[in-house]
Structure 1
Amino acid sequence: MCRAQGDAVAGRRGWRLPGTVLLLLAYVGYLLLGSTAFWALEEPAERHSAQQLLQDKWELLGNYTCLKGPALERFIQGIIKAYKSGHTLQGNTTSLGRWDLVGSFFFSISAITTIGYGNLSPNTVSAQVFCIFFALFGIPLNLILLNRIGQLMLSGAAAILTRTCALVTGFLLFLLLPPFLFSVIEGWTYAEGFYYSFVTLSTIGFGDYVIGMNPDLTYPSWYKILVSVWILFGMAWLALVISLCITLLENSSDLCQCGKKKSKELEQELMDCNKNSSPRPDDVENGSSKDTKPEGAN
């Protein structure tokens, strides 16, 4: 029976994959899950939007026969290029202000925090070269500062609150409350504000929602500065949350390793059991001599 159990354990061990391979498979599976979900949710809307754009174009050309197709295409491309540079038409004037001191400060924050919304980027060669060196030294500085702020937040919270209460408080301050501010100033829904908050603090930074970019609104001078401070402390808090999640995953991996170690110990015990249960050559020889011994012998 011991031998049968040992064979079963050895068979299960042969089918185990290394932990790194399992992690890689889980990672690829998670990416495939996300790819399938986004494909199913976004592709129909994208197709509808493209069809609507073509329909609007042909209706415009049909209503205004003086317009020519190539000229309209060049005009549209010029509008897109101007919008990417931060310019929009407002009657007979254009909007400015993305590269004023406050706007440049907000861009600097988004650069060294690696958020990179993509809605604003340097256009001159000198600014692009400066941005390279600015980010090269600014990103490590930002990581050091975030680590220090996170440690201070954690130690300060430990003196007042438990770690769980500190995480819940941070969730309230950095994710649940800011969407109300964005709803008031930007006119977003609460869901859009919450989406922007998480995308920003996690440094995903898609750029589909960015504060202070609506040319029809007048923003307070303190708005971008306040959001910059919120980004700095919010990223430090979210880094703590991610670190906690990593710790939980590593602990679960340690539990698996502990289970494997116990399984190996059980396998070794079963192998020892097999060795002890099998007859030794000396025992076999002694048994044979006993069987062949004459009945009258002492």
Structure 2
Amino acid sequence: MACRGTCCCGFGPVNEDNARFVMLALLIIVYLLCGAAVFSALEHPKEKQAKERWAQRFEHFSLKHNLSKNELEKFLRYYEEANIAGIRVDTLRPRWDFTGAFYFVGTVVSTIGFGMTTPATVGGKIFLIFYGLIGCAATILFFNLFLERIITVLAYVLKSCHEIQRRRKGVLPHDSRRDSSNTGGNEADNLAGWKPSVYCVMLILCVAAIIISCCASAMYSSVEGWGYFDSLYFCFVAFSTIGFGDMVSSQRAAYESQTAYRLGNFLFLLMGVCCIYSLFNVISIIIKQVLNWLLKKLEVTCRHCPGKPFRPRRNAVVPGHVRTRRVISIDTDAVNDSETDGRRLSGEMISMRDFLAANKVNLAIMQKQLSEMANGHPRPSSSNNRQNGFSGGVGALGIMNNRLAETSVDR
């Protein structure tokens, strides 16, 4: 891990969080450079061919119809303006009737932003700024709450499967909770402390995303006339809220079973975005594990830095030699509980609790609630939360609540 004190590179004090931040920033830059190189190699030749083909067609058309290039270019600019306003050669549905506007605001608040429909008036652009500010924030909160509930369901299901498996092996009695209440058996206590694996949750979300994408692609390929691979491409671009706009669903003026198709399109987009959003959050935990592994490998180099020897801070995630390694899992205990008895050092690579506690990202609150439901015995919230009213919250809201709670307690 990073050492504390002054770094040999001359960048001043270094701690684990700063080292992790710098490492992630460098990896993202490298990732961007590699992506740019790959896409440039794949797409640039196609772009050059299309440009040459267009120049030949433009020249041939101007000669055939005896039109000057300036007049033809002016006409094409008029068409580009009409295209921005939603006018196409093919007959498409109205962009700004109620259904078209509803589709547009859906792409706004979901942050997909296909770009097929954009406001052209000054009033529409000004209204979009305020509308999107509130709508996007509310939708992100909805995605966070969806993630909270999907983790609750997964935690309950996985715990039930684990309990059934232990009963079949004879490790756990068939009426474990009653027996544990009477005898306080260690088996039941161990089961109560059991946590679902991060990798298992990621696998389930990945399978769910694949199933939704495949079903949606079958619908789009049959209704829109796209190829199946193109439909899969559209699903990822839409569900991940990238929203290039090169392919957009439900844009024709009429479809067979139009109402059913538009309802299916809406539901697939909603489920896909929620599922991919949840998957991205879980994958971010895996990325954090990779960063910890890389920083552990760089620890030998950092030992040569002058300054104080490496001492892990409170709330730091440290390598396995500092503490006994454990199974990677989603820890569902509250962050506030760890505040009262001191934050433990994590030897795992890495648990959900350590990841969230180290960065004060209070999806841990979400996971606490879901684990309580899975274990069947909710724990009371901490006194600080009750006194200051900052309990609950996930994602960015959880960060804000915790910071406000800490400030209130300090004062």
Task: Calculate the TM-score normalised by the size of structure 2.
Answer: 0.54
Name the counterpart of 1:244: 282
Q: What is the Cα deviation at residue 75 of structure 1?
A: 1.7
User: Residues 93-149 of structure 1: CA distance to partner in whole angstroms, max 9, x if unpaired?
Assistant: x65422222221111111011111112101112211111111010011001111112
- Against the structure 1 CA distance between its residues 54 and 114, is the aligned structure 2 distance closer, same or farther, given a 3 Å change threshold? same
Are residue 224 (structure 1) and residue 262 (structure 2) matched?
A: yes
Query: 1:59-78, aligned counterparts within 5 Å?
Result: 59-65=60-66, 67-78=67-78
Name the counterpart of 1:85: 85
User: Residues 167-206 of structure 1: CA distance to partner in whole angstroms, max 9, x if unpaired?
Assistant: 2441233222211111011111111111111111111111
Measure, in 2, the Cα distance between the counterparts of 1:40 and 1:165.
32
Measure, in 2, the Cα distance between the counterparts of 1:141 and 1:153.
18
Query: 1:114-193, aligned counterparts within 5 Å?
Result: 114-160=111-157, 163=201, 166-193=204-231
Asked if structure 1 preserves the Cα contact closer than 8 Å seen for 2:113 and 2:243, the reply is yes
Q: Secondary structure at the match of 1:241?
A: helix
Asked if structure 2 preserves the Cα contact closer than 8 Å seen for 1:175 and 1:194, the reply is yes
Asked if structure 1 preserves the Cα contact closer than 8 Å seen for 2:202 and 2:282, the reply is no
Measure, in 2, the Cα distance between the counterparts of 1:164 and 1:246.
10
Q: Secondary structure at the match of 2:259?
A: coil
Query: 1:38-77, aligned counterparts within 5 Å?
Result: 38-65=39-66, 67-77=67-77
Measure, in 1, the Cα distance between the counterparts of 2:72 and 2:294.
63
- Against the structure 1 CA distance between its residues 69 and 256, is the aligned structure 2 distance closer, same or farther, given a 3 Å change threshold? closer
Asked if structure 2 preserves the Cα contact closer than 8 Å seen for 1:103 and 1:224, the reply is no
Q: What is the Cα deviation at residue 248 of structure 1?
A: 1.5
Measure, in 1, the Cα distance between the counterparts of 2:125 and 2:292.
46
- Against the structure 1 CA distance between its residues 25 and 62, is the aligned structure 2 distance closer, same or farther, given a 3 Å change threshold? same
Amino acid at match of 1:112: V
Which range is displaced more, 22-31 or 163-172? 163-172
Are residue 113 (structure 1) and residue 99 (structure 2) matched?
A: no
**More helix as a share of residues:** 1
- Against the structure 1 CA distance between its residues 70 and 96, is the aligned structure 2 distance closer, same or farther, given a 3 Å change threshold? farther
Asked if structure 2 preserves the Cα contact closer than 8 Å seen for 1:199 and 1:206, the reply is yes
Q: Secondary structure at the match of 1:177?
A: helix
Task: Calculate the TM-score normalised by the size of structure 1.
Answer: 0.73
Amino acid at match of 1:40: A
Are residue 102 (structure 1) and residue 103 (structure 2) matched?
A: no
Measure, in 2, the Cα distance between the counterparts of 1:145 and 1:190.
30
Measure, in 2, the Cα distance between the counterparts of 1:156 and 1:114.
26
Measure, in 2, the Cα distance between the counterparts of 1:104 and 1:58.
39
Name the counterpart of 1:278: none
Asked if structure 1 preserves the Cα contact closer than 8 Å seen for 2:112 and 2:242, the reply is yes
Name the counterpart of 2:273: 235
**Size of the alignment, in residue pairs?**
249
Asked if structure 1 preserves the Cα contact closer than 8 Å seen for 2:86 and 2:117, the reply is yes
Amino acid at match of 1:151: E
- Against the structure 1 CA distance between its residues 239 and 102, is the aligned structure 2 distance closer, same or farther, given a 3 Å change threshold? same
Asked if structure 2 preserves the Cα contact closer than 8 Å seen for 1:149 and 1:233, the reply is no
User: Residues 200-242 of structure 1: CA distance to partner in whole angstroms, max 9, x if unpaired?
Assistant: 1111111111112346866713433432332222222112211
- Against the structure 1 CA distance between its residues 37 and 169, is the aligned structure 2 distance closer, same or farther, given a 3 Å change threshold? closer
User: Residues 8-28 of structure 1: CA distance to partner in whole angstroms, max 9, x if unpaired?
Assistant: xxxxx979x944433332221
- Against the structure 1 CA distance between its residues 47 and 256, is the aligned structure 2 distance closer, same or farther, given a 3 Å change threshold? closer
Measure, in 2, the Cα distance between the counterparts of 1:212 and 1:28.
36
Asked if structure 1 preserves the Cα contact closer than 8 Å seen for 2:119 and 2:125, the reply is yes
Name the counterpart of 1:275: none
Amino acid at match of 2:81: K
| Identical aligned residues as a percent | 25
Q: Secondary structure at the match of 1:86?
A: coil
Amino acid at match of 1:57: F
Gaps of 5+ in 1: 1-12, 269-298
Aligned-CA RMSD value: 2.9
Asked if structure 1 preserves the Cα contact closer than 8 Å seen for 2:93 and 2:254, the reply is no
Asked if structure 1 preserves the Cα contact closer than 8 Å seen for 2:24 and 2:291, the reply is no
- Against the structure 1 CA distance between its residues 215 and 59, is the aligned structure 2 distance closer, same or farther, given a 3 Å change threshold? farther
Asked if structure 2 preserves the Cα contact closer than 8 Å seen for 1:86 and 1:96, the reply is no
Q: Secondary structure at the match of 1:203?
A: coil
- Against the structure 1 CA distance between its residues 219 and 133, is the aligned structure 2 distance closer, same or farther, given a 3 Å change threshold? farther
Structure with higher Rg: it is: 1
- Against the structure 1 CA distance between its residues 223 and 131, is the aligned structure 2 distance closer, same or farther, given a 3 Å change threshold? farther
